[in-house]
Amino acid sequence: MTSSSAPLDDDRISAEAAHWCARLHDADCSAAEREAFTRWFAADPRHAEEYRAMLEIWQLSELLPSSQPIVEAPLAAPLRRPRAHRPRSGRRVAAIAAGVLVALGAAWSAGWSAGWLPSRVGYYAAQPAPREVRLADGSTVELNSGSQLIFADFRDRRSAWLASGGEAYFQVAHDTLQPFSVRTDNGSVRVTGTRFNVWTDDNQMLVTLLEGSVVVSPPDDVDGNSAQLTPGMQARYLRGSQRIELAQVAPAGAIAWIEGKLVLDDLSLQAAIPLINRYLKQPVRIEDTEAAALRIGGIYRTDDLQALVDSLPKVLPVELRKDSAGRIVLASRYVQL
């Protein structure tokens, strides 16, 4: 792939492989985590390739402790079984362990120096309440409820990946020599030091800049469709669209969720419903273009947005009902002649 987002994607896969390699060697690794690894491993051939490469680094010596088995089920070629060894004295075991750690550290250091292995990897999740985290580089991130973030600190760059359905407010520590990038399934944001908010779901990404400067790019930006934002600007990218939509907004509204509020600034229902859905137990689907074009505004509590949905038929010409699959549908009440 020859897109500007490819290096970020490679970084993400390397960081995820390093995370799984570490977790699978940890005595606290649960059965659920091993099942999650199996799904991740099978999801993309690049995952398998990167994990095997990471495992080679981890297993520089067959004398690594093997009391915790590595998940072998997804691997095409099972790992070699360690040779049987005579019982060793405590001093001998300590010497072997020290040698392995030195070798492993040297290999990892070489990978870090080359820029293809991170020095530190972190995984963060906000379940169910929002959560503030401090990254290894000194940056801070507020994660909205249900959000998941992976961060990897490379020699020449800092890379974060926000999972679909997530929202995060970043306050990035300034470092021009080590740019900071945030990637989602719907595009990426590149900065050196600034404050900005990112929200993404299955179909779109919304970036609001509060301070500094960022460059927002679609997933496969081969045509140079990136947009540079200044404070007070908001960029929206819809999957499959040809361009990034830009707007001037009140930045404080974008991070009102930190205080448990959702600000809808005269938005169409098409734009507002995805923002509302993340807080609902059962999401709402818009059925027709007439309903999608209707507009809504106001400030609402994020812990009571079901009440907002229930009140929509009272303030707009719409109705709520369930479709054949049992999903809640918002439809126009316009009379069809």
HSE at residue 240, side-chain half, CA atoms within 13 A, is: 2
The answer regarding whether domain 120-253 maps to CATH 3.30.750.24 reads no
Q: What is the pLDDT of residue 116?
A: 54
Residue 324, both tokens? 């054949």
pLDDT at 33: 81
The answer to whether the bond into 283 is cis (omega within 30° of 0) is no
According to DSSP, residue 49 is labeled H
Q: Backbone phi, then psi, for 37, in 5-degree steps?
A: -65, -45
Give the pLDDT score at 170.
Answer: 97
Residue 181 has pLDDT above 80, yes or no: yes
What residue spans define the domains of the chain? 6-114, 120-253, 260-332
User: Are the CB atoms for 262 and 300 separated by under 8 Å?
Assistant: yes
Same fold yes or no, 120-253 and 260-332: no
- Helix, strand, coil shares of the chain, percent, nearest 5, are 30, 30, 40
276-292 average pLDDT score: 92
Residue 59 has pLDDT above 80, yes or no: no
Give SS3 for 28.
Answer: coil
What is the SS3 assignment for 210? strand
pLDDT at 99: 42
Q: In what order do the strands lie in the sheet with 120-125?
A: 120-125, 148-153, 158-162, 180-184, 187-191, 214-217, 227-229
| pTM for the model | 0.70
Would you state the CATH architecture of domain 260-332? 3-Layer(bab) Sandwich (3.55)
